[in-house]
Amino acid sequence: MFEKTYQNHRTMRRASGIIILAKSTKKILLSERSRHLPQAGSWTGWGGWNKPGEDPYEGAMRELIEETAFNGIIIEQHTLSVYQSSNFNYHNFLLIVEDEFEPKTDWESARHGWYHFEDLPKPLHFGLKWLVAQDAHIISGLIQKI
């Protein structure tokens, strides 16, 4: 029993997620976590656990498609900061699409909305709050550029 617990503790767990920016409105699509998830009621992007051997971007795209039925055209894809702890990392990505779209959300999302970066809804999920603190200059620069 101890050996199995110790091995699990040492295994790196990987997850990844995406925020989406609409070029035409310069707004970001976020999801409010449903009551079925930890940190219910907080706002975040789209993401989840990566499958064994799955590339973080591929995992983030898989989660995005599963959770929103996204099938649009991606204009640009940007890699953002990676949150890391002793046995966990979370890869963050930003996609730029031409226009806002209406996602077909699943049970993980209570609701969703498009927001200006300087006026994000509250409370932010701790992961998105961390990402905004780390990469605000990158995200703001991309918004200004489009």
The per-residue pLDDT for 2 is 35
Rounded Cα–Cα distance for residues 143 and 116 (Å): 10
CA angle 8, 11, 12 (to 5 degrees): 140
- Residue 54 CA to residue 127 CA, distance in Å, equals 21
Average pLDDT, the chain: 93
What is the domain class of 2-145 according to CATH?
A: alpha beta
**Residue 60 burial (CB count, 10 A):** 26
Integer-rounded Cα Rg, in Å, for the chain is 16
pLDDT (0 to 100) of residue 12? 87
Kindly report, residue by residue over 98-124, the tens digit of the pLDDT. Answer: 999 999 999 999 999 999 999 999 999
Q: Which of 9-23, 27-41, 92-106 has the lowest mean pLDDT?
A: 9-23
pLDDT at 3: 38
pLDDT of residue 11: 81
Q: What is the predicted pLDDT for the residue at 22?
A: 98
pLDDT over 60 at 54, yes or no: yes
Q: Where do the domains of the chain lie?
A: 2-145
d(CA 5, CA 86) in angstroms, rounded, equals 15
Would you state the pLDDT for residue 91?
A: 98
Burial of 83 (0-12, 13-18, 19+ CB in 10 A): middle
